[in-house]
Amino acid sequence: MKVLLKNLGLLLILAGAVILLVCAYTGNVNNNNVLVTSAALLIVGLVTYIVINKRITD
């Protein structure tokens, strides 16, 4: 469980990046809801990664 928790931030960042890639390939770059969602996932993932890895030590 610790491994999944340690990688939670990276998974959120990866999900945000995948959403941006899908939007770029489909040409759906004018939809603000999708862009805000992916930006929020990137920011929350980064903060989660920093906070969790400061608290969890092996």
Look up the pTM and report it: 0.84
Number of domains in the chain: 1
Residue numbers of the domain that contains 21: 2-55
Rounded CA gap, 34 and 18, in Å? 11
Helix, strand, coil tally for the chain in percent (to 5): 85, 0, 15
pLDDT digits (tens, 9 = 90+) for 2-51: 778 888 999 999 999 999 999 999 988 888 898 899 999 999 999 999 99
Rounded CA gap, 48 and 43, in Å? 8
Rounded CA gap, 34 and 40, in Å? 10
Say if residues 13 and 46 touch (Cβ distance below 8 Å). yes
Rounded CA gap, 39 and 55, in Å? 25
